[in-house]
Amino acid sequence: MIYKFIDDNGAEITINSLSQLQILVEDKTIKKSTKLKVGLRGKWGKAKDVKELKFEEEKEKKKEEAEKVFEDIESFITSDQTPPLEPTSPLKKETIPKTEKTKIDIKTPIETEEIVSKDYKATDTSEELRKEEINNVKKQTIDSEANKKQNLVLFFKKLWQGKYSLKLSFWGLYLLPNLLFSILLFFLLSNVLKTETPLASVILFYTVTFAVISYIIISMLGTWKSANHFRNYRKNQNKPYGLAIVAQIFVSADILLRIIGAAKQFV
């Protein structure tokens, strides 16, 4: 099961198992009021609504109950088990014999001390294991964020080198994004041209424009190189390669039209 939660910084973090989620609860990274979603299609709620999670309050109650039981057992072992004295008659002047206290085996408190020391050792090792698990979970989240950035860089590198198939490069990574970007820039430009446009909108428009132009250049070159790879591959197999020529003609026409449109704005 996949779990998603939003941390104090507002970042959305994905966890792959309930055990890792419980570790973050024990580390107080996830609180009762933390927004949490169970599954990809689940609804956002609070962490306290998930029945499988156990917070510190429940653990403290169980710990107090266990300590209380242990104290009762210890008090019972160390208590003085002396039999009650029988009252003597007033006529007889017999001295009441001193009752001897029952001897308690010395080994009993020693054994209890050994049990307590073993319990403390067990808790120490369990805390160390929990710390290691918490560090592993944090490391996995950091590694996942680093992998996302690395995958994004790898995507643009493969697109630039034309290592994607010609159909994917032309239709999915070049033509369709260019249409979407043109619609986006059209709406942004209509808002920027209005009077009293805030500075943030103008900065957003130019930032998006720069990003779109950069992607268009990369997708054009990647599609061109992918067409070259496709043409060479089809040549080696003595098969037609007209699709590669059509794609390169389309890219060339697109570049020419963009240059003409840019030149008209300066004339």
Domain identity same for 115 and 43: yes
| DSSP SS3 for 38 | strand
| Total domain count, the chain | 2
The rounded distance, in Å, linking the Cα atoms of 96 and 175 is: 110
CA atoms within 13 A on the CB side of 221: 11
pTM: 0.45
Domain identity same for 130 and 216: no
pLDDT at 264 over 80: yes
> Rounded to whole angstroms, what are the CA distances from 121 to 54, 60, 128, 245?
23, 19, 11, 74
Question: In the structure, what pLDDT confidence band is assigned to residue 103 with cuts at 50, 70 and 90?
Answer: very low
Domain-located, residue 88: no
Domain identity same for 13 and 130: yes
The rounded distance, in Å, linking the Cα atoms of 27 and 187 is: 46
Q: Contact 164/173 with Cβ under 8 angstroms?
A: yes
The tokens describing 242, both together, are 């007209």
Mean per-residue pLDDT over the chain, rounded = 77
Question: In the structure, what pLDDT confidence band is assigned to residue 93 with cuts at 50, 70 and 90?
Answer: very low
The tokens describing 17, both together, are 């198992």
The rounded distance, in Å, linking the Cα atoms of 131 and 235 is: 60
Domain identity same for 179 and 235: yes
Expressed as residue numbers, the domain containing 175 is: 158-266
